[in-house]
Chain A
Amino acid sequence: MGDTTNAQPLLQVENLRVEFPTRRGTLVAVDDISFHIDEGEVLGVVGESGAGKSLTGAAIIGLLEPPGRVASGQIIFDGARIDNIGYEKIRRLRGNQIAMIFQDPLTSLNPLITVGRQLTETIRTHVSVDERAARERAIELLNEVGIPAAERRVDQYPHQFSGGMRQRVVIALALAANPRLIIADEPTTALDVSIQAQIITLLKRLCKEHGTAVMLVTHDMGVIAETADRVAVMYAGRIVEVGPVQDVIRHAQHPYTHGLMNSIPVVRHDVEQLKQIDGAMPRLTDIPSGCAFNPRCPKVFEYCRDARPELVDVGATRAACWLYDDTRRAGDTT
């Protein structure tokens, strides 16, 4: 992809393909996608279940569950490839340079170890400090993520924290080594709305203060609208549209993004019927030929079934849709 900005992006993903070999053939879950994240930028990755957004995140930090594997493509972090560097090196990178926040805070915390131990362990893995300094840093981190009485709570176990507080602890863990990129996979989905608002505000503040870049994976357009600078919309393993968040939300170019935005009910917005996209996301076993969205697309024409569209500049965003290829449209006879 000819990205010709002067500054080198922090993360560059090129033609990434994630496959699952099965007895009945190979399933392609992420199909030849390219994108980048700049230093200090929040990139939202949005899509419905099965779009491949979480797998993309997992592939970047080498956490794909076998038999899933990166079949081709490159992942370049800070100028160096990280998709072929071996287990030990990627492990050192994780937590140190790239951290991960998962949906369910309980699964990322060890229930048998105090929050403080988990924090100091992480800190000492990545920074050479003694136990006391690490503990001080742990308390400092808990303070920073807004946990009251951090000096006391540092010695408590995860079950003594409520859901929102636990997610704060997970964020503190992610920040422990001052990473340059955080991959947050549905970080607010398990939380109530009022807590979700607190966590979004916190993430935004911390990223601004630390200059941390974030890849925010979520199905919730509202969270994206509140948080992201740019957004990539995924459908059936492909990026169908990518651009500045305002442009994608207000002037979506791809029919899928457009349909998705219109199918979301909005408070104080009276409509008798929501505009719906008929059908459902295809399964990996039978992804339609050509543009994967073509069976559900209201603007489909003959060519869409034959060839797969690539991302092209459309207005302020980039969209992968034949509608914006004048020669194809002109040649359409339907």
Chain B
Amino acid sequence: MNKNDVLVRLTGIGKDFDVSPPLLNRLMERQDKVLLKAVDNLSIDIPKGKTFSLVGESGCGKSTVARLTVGLYRPSRGSIVYDAIDMATLKTQAQIEPVRKRMQMIFQDPYASLNPRWRVSDIIAEPIRAHKLISGKSAIDQRVAELLVQVGLAAVDRVKFPHEFSGGQRQRIARALASQPEFLICDEPTSALDVSVQAQILNLMKELQRQFALTYLFISHDLAVVYHISDFVGVMYLGRLVEWSDKRTLFQRPWHPYTRMLLDAIPDIEMSGRQRIPVAGEVPNPIHPPSGCHFHPRCPYANDRCRNEVPAPIQKDESNVACHAVQEQRLPDVAVTGEPADVTTSG
């Protein structure tokens, strides 16, 4: 893709967490430091105005990537370049502030980040005041009303408290939009919601993206949601990106055995009677990940090389995939063709 189109570029980023026992215990028991590599050598480009999604099972590091991108964590390695600005070079608050303003994060639990004792108008106005975007009470009030309408609530809802709404995610989105960001990092924004409300929020997010040319980094474990919202998808396993491409390629012609396994595990809502073979085993402990390719203990194609050598990402057809078996052409090509049967019912 064209270099100018990239809004956020993560290059070889890694994040280690120190999970060692306390210093004194460590000295007495002569143990080394224990590092958990939550994210390991991950590189992605997020194009302007598009949605890049990261999928993976719990503990794969996808939320850590979100937090690294928005600056809640400092990367242990690698660089994050936001619109040609290397985030590592920003030292003072005055330098960071204007970049921070351009990105916002939406968390999973809609209530956890809304102060239950504040009225919605105060919650939404907070970032406006903090970033000194608008001054004057009436101007702020007007902006709050505007934001509420944008997310599908009514202007009169401003006097309500968070608990008076059901679902709750709309206020979070309104708050996130308050500083007029161009980049939203969404960490499982719909997984605490019921399906009917989830559909409303996904529709709203797509609508807002069209309207304001927003760029999304979208984190989710739900592949159907990811398929619906994304332009590009990356699959993570134990801190590493194992495959990424545009969404259609990834869902229709997956290469990495882990991607194939994930796609196969999606419940079959169309009731096509497909027989699936669940992959045995579970995600190993990330503190002591398997050597070589992290997926090798669960992979039906693993050989000695997989056990010893970390696979480097290669281009395979339209996809990028980190797998020795794919590189050595030991893997059959599995193209999932055909639109699924229409589940839309009459009535």
Q: Could you tell me which A residues sit within 8 Å of B by CB distance?
A: 48-49, 162-165, 192-198, 200-201, 219-223, 225-226, 245-246, 249-253, 255, 258-278, 280-281, 283
A246 to B262 alpha-carbon distance, docked (Å): 24
Closest 7 CB pairs of A and B: A222-B267, A263-B199, A48-B194, A265-B228, A192-B57, A280-B166, A197-B265
A264 engages B278 (CB within 8 Å):
no
User: CB-CB < 8 A to A283: which residues of B?
Assistant: 166
B196 engages A276 (CB within 8 Å):
yes
Is chain B's interface secondary structure helix, strand, loop, or mixed overall?
A: loop
Interface centre among B196, B199, B276, B282 (most CB of A within 10 A): B196
User: CB-CB < 8 A to B206: which residues of A?
Assistant: 272-273
A192 engages B283 (CB within 8 Å):
yes
User: CB-CB < 8 A to B200: which residues of A?
Assistant: 276-278
Which B296-327 residues sit within 8 Å CB-CB of chain A?
Answer: none
B197 engages A194 (CB within 8 Å):
no
A-B contact pairs, 26 of them (CB 8 A): A192-B58, A192-B283, A194-B261, A198-B280, A222-B267, A225-B270, A251-B345, A251-B346, A252-B345, A258-B347, A260-B196, A261-B345, A263-B199, A265-B225, A265-B228, A266-B227, A266-B270, A266-B340, A267-B263, A267-B266, A268-B336, A269-B343, A271-B228, A273-B203, A276-B200, A278-B200
A265 to B343 alpha-carbon distance, docked (Å): 11
A283 to chain B, nearest CB (A): 7
Interface centre among A192, A245, A283 (most CB of B within 10 A): A192
A261 to chain B, nearest CB (A): 6
B178 to chain A, nearest CB (A): 23
Contact with A along B232-257 (1 / 0, CB 8 A): 00000000000000000001100000
User: CB-CB < 8 A to B166: which residues of A?
Assistant: 280-281, 283
A268-B199 in contact given A219-B194, A249-B269, A253-B347 (Cβ < 8 Å): no
Whether a CB of chain A sits under 8 angstroms from the CB of B224 is yes
CB-based A-B contact count at 8 angstroms: 148
Q: Could you tell me which B residues sit within 8 Å of A by CB distance?
A: 57-58, 166-167, 194-200, 202-203, 206, 221, 223-225, 227-228, 251-252, 261-271, 276, 278-280, 282-283, 336, 339-340, 343-347
A262 to chain B, nearest CB (A): 6
A255 to B345 alpha-carbon distance, docked (Å): 10
A249 engages B271 (CB within 8 Å):
yes
Residue of A nearest to B225 (CB): A265
Interface centre among B267, B270, B283, B346 (most CB of A within 10 A): B267
A62 to chain B, nearest CB (A): 28
Interface centre among B198, B270, B347 (most CB of A within 10 A): B347
B203 engages A245 (CB within 8 Å):
no
A250 to B203 alpha-carbon distance, docked (Å): 23
A268 to B200 alpha-carbon distance, docked (Å): 20
A283 to B164 alpha-carbon distance, docked (Å): 11
A269 to B228 alpha-carbon distance, docked (Å): 8
B282 engages A264 (CB within 8 Å):
no
B196 engages A268 (CB within 8 Å):
no
B345 engages A250 (CB within 8 Å):
yes
Residue of B nearest to A226 (CB): B267
A273 to B339 alpha-carbon distance, docked (Å): 17
Residue of A nearest to B199 (CB): A263
Residue of A nearest to B347 (CB): A258
Interface centre among A196, A251, A265, A269 (most CB of B within 10 A): A265
B269 engages A221 (CB within 8 Å):
yes
